[in-house]
Structure 1
Amino acid sequence: MRKSAKNLASQQENKAVDRNVVPVINEYGLIQLNLAHKNIEYLNDELINYRKLQILILANNRITVLSNKIGNLKRLKLLDCSNNKLYIIPDSIANCTDLVELHLQSNRLNKIPAKVTSLIHLRILKIDDNLLESLPPSFGNLGQLRRLELSKNGLYYLPDSLVNLEELTFLELSQNVFVNFPPQILGLKKLEVLKMSGNKIDSLPVDMSYLKKLKKIDLSVNKFTRFPASLCDLKCLEQLNLSNNQLTTLSTRLAKLTRLIELNISNNALTHLLDNLPIIEYLDVSTNDLRHLSVTNMKNLKVLHVSQNRLVEVPDGFYDLQALEDADLSSNKIIYLSQDIGSLRSLISLNLSNNRLKLVPRCLYDMPKLKNLVLKGN
């Protein structure tokens, strides 16, 4: 028997029994309705009778088409249709002029109708995991958008109007098919987080400094063979991920990133790393070709991952890392561990597996916070 949202909604309005579906009803009528995980296949038009509805959650069902009458829900502020089988969004959604948040991720959409760009109050738009190859030219009309998620699609370019998203702070474009870095992004003056993992980008524009407020950028799993030096002009950058590329060297200008606290450059082909990141707290250089590493000037390190390199000794300055909590030195060629390891009073996890250690200091077993010690393969 096919399930409709109308029948379930009626049951909820009369008696809120299911703890997973709690409707909110005030003196004006039903304003919030959660029909997630109800195996719904279609929306009965009578659902649109709930004209005071402000929040409608239809996630994780089997809906293929939204009713054209969805536009009658003019007070709707949040609509969540994620994880369904939608292949089209009706133009009538443009009538939901109060929409602030729209979730369409994990459906079968191959285009976003231009009418969606009439939702001028929209602040959050999630369309990850669909079949999109492009966005409407009028996409820039969504001038109040703060968060835009478009990962796991087939996008290879962005419309010029994107520069009009002047309030955008979060942009997710991972796992698309971008070969070039979209220049429109440089116009997003308030952007703080940019995720472009899993594309085919091999270079960045020289004028990345336009992104004056960028704090986090993820460029992992791309095609970089040279470190994009223009990243060093991002003065507010705190987190940088360039893992799973083909880098052989880093820029000496990295020291210009005076706010950088997290750097992931694992799974590259690096042979050396400069010790010039004084406030770094998280450093992952695992799976590279490092024979020597100095962390003497990285006193704030809390996490250090250097597994699968060619180190024959622990990094210089390692025993002075008083803030260090997690150290992974596994799969190297380390032959000696000093008694000075006992000075790392904050250490919680230490992985020294698959090295060439013959002895380990007894103080390892007396360290107050150490909970995870791995020594196998020595």
Structure 2
Amino acid sequence: MSRLRGVAGRDPRAGFKPDGRDCCTSVPQGLLKAARKSGQLNLSGRNLSEVPQCVWRINVDLPEEANQNLSFSATERWWEQTDLTKLIISNNKLQSLTDDLRLLPALTVLDIHDNQLTSLPSAIGELENLQKLNVSHNKLKTLPEEIANLRNLKGLYLQHNELTCISEGFEQLSNLEDLDLSNNRLRTVPASFSSLSSLVRLNLSSNQLKNLPAEISRMKRLKHLDCNSNLLETIPPELAGMESLELLYLWRNKLRFLPEFPSCRLLKELHVGENQIEMLRAEHLKHLNSILVLDLRDNKLKSVPDEITLLQSLERLDLSNNDISSISIINLIFCSLPYSLGNLHLKFLALEGNPLRTIRREIINKGTQEVLKYLRSKIKDDGPSQSDSVTETAMTLPSESKVNIHAIVTLKILDYSDKQTPLIPDEVFDAVKSNIITSVNFSKNLLCEIPKRIIELKEMVSDVNLSFNKLSFISLELCMLQKLTFLDLRNNVLNSLPEEMESLIRLQVINLSFNRFKILPEVLYRILSLETVLISNNQIGSVDAQKMKTMENLTTLDLQNNDLLHIPPELGNCVHLRTLLLDGNPFRVPRAAILMKGTAAILEYLRDRIPT
């Protein structure tokens, strides 16, 4: 009760308002009694037009049972009540809140979404323990300056209000991780937003923004940026330097050009549909090594560069409703749509709404796999003879024709993929000469070992693709690529990784899917820079949850289609995981219904089952 006396000290009448309980007819006494024990009170959907005094004073006034001459069991001792930490008063008819809000200083969660609030009281700044504040779906026009005092706030949800600007001092919310300002009337984003150094997710969609401040690139932890449905005409080039960015939504704006993304090597989804983009060049694509989803629908594209086939991780490509008129053969200077697109492992390809003349409508209507099959067949039919006439001339030696010099000089990529060769010829490495190479692509060959000369690139290469080969071991040369951040080893015959891989201290993404691993390689637990581990379709029977917890940068773990009979509950403590995929394993719990709810639900389910 000492905390109650501290609050009462602010109000000399505290504890002496018997009439406060009389006005509280809309809140059952049993609900208040339960809230004093649990510290949580849910009053959503009760048609409240104001918050009853007994709610604000729940930790101040003596409860009704204190006036009764009764003996109390251990579970009914009202004087051992818990301070209210969670208050939900959403889906009511509240038009205002009073400064009595300050009588609940222990609140960590305040949820007042779906009301009719036009403002917030200044006393909200006194809730110094608040971590989550949801005021979405109200009628707020401004925010009180005192909101800047909520230094422990991690989640702030202000979507669907009438805000036209952001108050000064907002940048002082240094612990804020999730900020939703969508569906307001914002015209600008202050440059001071860059001080929100902990922000992971920022939603600015459905506002009236014409530009973004360049300073936004200083948000070093930002992974999810949503700017859908605004009036953006350009994107600051600094945005392309955001190394942590994984999801970027720019759908339904007025963009005419797509920026390059040299530093966004972790970018998994790029949505730029419903803009006015007329051209897609190789420079726009060459750094998108981790891209899974590329949405370009409803633009004005007339062609797609052949370099799109370098996006080996791409799963969904939407090109619908553009101006692509024909499909051209691989390696021609101008390609409307390259046949080589058929070599990508796409799960979804949309071409509807383009004036295509060289692919029948019934093929498109049959779906993605039929379209890819058609494109691959055209490579076999037309590709070699046509490409030879383009790439080999009297001035070109046959051995040199195997090396894509354009990719080396312009794209900084050493590409010798899809040759079905057991060895990489020396002339491939010789062709590098003094050029800077950042990416190596030796995928879709018959390599049984990694070329030893790859060590010559150790000072510069950051991305290596060795997928779809016959590798049964990893050589030490690969472990010496100190700048390596992205490594694709899927579809080989690997069953172990060397301990020396621990020296890859910059490695962020590794793809080991479709190999022969029976356990998660021990060395992965020690590569603390890892953010994405893809190891689906192996034979893994167990994972070490305690060691996994030390991988604090790991946000994506794909364990689908393995032999896991048991998921350790301690895995629920890996709260840094944003994506955990477990489908296709023979375990019985968690049930499929839990898996369908997503990663957060899976982790919560597991945590609840940790033995105490």
Using structure 1 for the length normalisation, give the TM-score: 0.76
User: Are 1:7 and 2:37 an aligned pair?
Assistant: no
The aligned residue for residue 410 of structure 2 is none
Contact 1:305–1:329 at 8 Å: present in 2 too?
Answer: no
* Alpha-carbon distance change, 94 to 274 in structure 1, aligned in 2, over 3 angstroms: same
Deviation at 1:184, TM superposition (A): 3.1
Deviation at 1:134, TM superposition (A): 1.0
User: Aligned ranges for residues 180-195 of structure 1 at < 5 Å?
Assistant: 180-195=211-226
User: Are 1:306 and 2:348 an aligned pair?
Assistant: no
Q: 1:247 aligns with which of 249, 273, 277?
A: 277
User: Aligned ranges for residues 171-320 of structure 1 at < 5 Å?
Assistant: 171-229=202-260, 231-253=261-283, 254-275=285-306, 276=308, 277-291=311-325, 292=327, 293-294=337-338, 296-297=340-341, 298-314=343-359
What letter is aligned with 2:266?
Answer: C
The aligned residue for residue 111 of structure 1 is 142
User: Aligned ranges for residues 80-99 of structure 1 at < 5 Å?
Assistant: 80-99=111-130
**What secondary structure does 2:278 align onto?**
coil
For these two proteins, the number of residue pairs brought into alignment is 313
Distance 2:115 2:172 in 1: 27
* Alpha-carbon distance change, 14 to 197 in structure 1, aligned in 2, over 3 angstroms: closer
What letter is aligned with 2:340?
Answer: T
Deviation at 1:11, TM superposition (A): 4.2
Deviation at 1:217, TM superposition (A): 0.6
Deviation at 1:236, TM superposition (A): 1.6
Contact 1:160–1:184 at 8 Å: present in 2 too?
Answer: yes
> Which deviations, in whole Å up to 9, do the C-alpha atoms of 1:117-146 show, x marking residues without a partner?
101000000001111111112001100000
Distance 2:369 2:113 in 1: 38
* Alpha-carbon distance change, 132 to 328 in structure 1, aligned in 2, over 3 angstroms: farther
Distance 1:252 1:337 in 2: 24
Deviation at 1:337, TM superposition (A): 7.5
The aligned residue for residue 193 of structure 2 is 162
Contact 1:5–1:44 at 8 Å: present in 2 too?
Answer: yes
The aligned residue for residue 368 of structure 2 is 327
Contact 1:269–1:289 at 8 Å: present in 2 too?
Answer: yes
* Alpha-carbon distance change, 251 to 93 in structure 1, aligned in 2, over 3 angstroms: same
Greater RCO between the two (CA within 8 Å, min separation 6)?
Answer: 1
What letter is aligned with 1:10?
Answer: P
* Alpha-carbon distance change, 49 to 224 in structure 1, aligned in 2, over 3 angstroms: same
| Coordinate RMSD, CA, aligned | 2.7
What letter is aligned with 1:105?
Answer: S
Contact 1:307–1:329 at 8 Å: present in 2 too?
Answer: no
Contact 2:213–2:236 at 8 Å: present in 1 too?
Answer: no
Deviation at 1:45, TM superposition (A): 2.1
Deviation at 1:12, TM superposition (A): 4.2
Distance 1:136 1:33 in 2: 30
Distance 2:240 2:114 in 1: 37
Using structure 2 for the length normalisation, give the TM-score: 0.48
Contact 2:201–2:224 at 8 Å: present in 1 too?
Answer: yes
* Alpha-carbon distance change, 304 to 118 in structure 1, aligned in 2, over 3 angstroms: same
% same residue: 27
Contact 1:42–1:63 at 8 Å: present in 2 too?
Answer: yes
The aligned residue for residue 441 of structure 2 is none
What letter is aligned with 1:152?
Answer: N
Contact 1:110–1:132 at 8 Å: present in 2 too?
Answer: yes
Structure (1/2) with the larger helix percentage: 2
User: Aligned ranges for residues 30-69 of structure 1 at < 5 Å?
Assistant: 30-51=38-59, 52-69=83-100
5+ residue gaps, structure 2, are: 1-21, 60-82, 328-336, 378-612
- Runs (4+) off by over 6 Å: none
Deviation at 1:274, TM superposition (A): 2.2
Distance 1:123 1:299 in 2: 40
Contact 1:122–1:142 at 8 Å: present in 2 too?
Answer: yes
Contact 2:315–2:345 at 8 Å: present in 1 too?
Answer: yes
Distance 1:264 1:192 in 2: 18
**What secondary structure does 2:256 align onto?**
coil
* Alpha-carbon distance change, 35 to 236 in structure 1, aligned in 2, over 3 angstroms: same
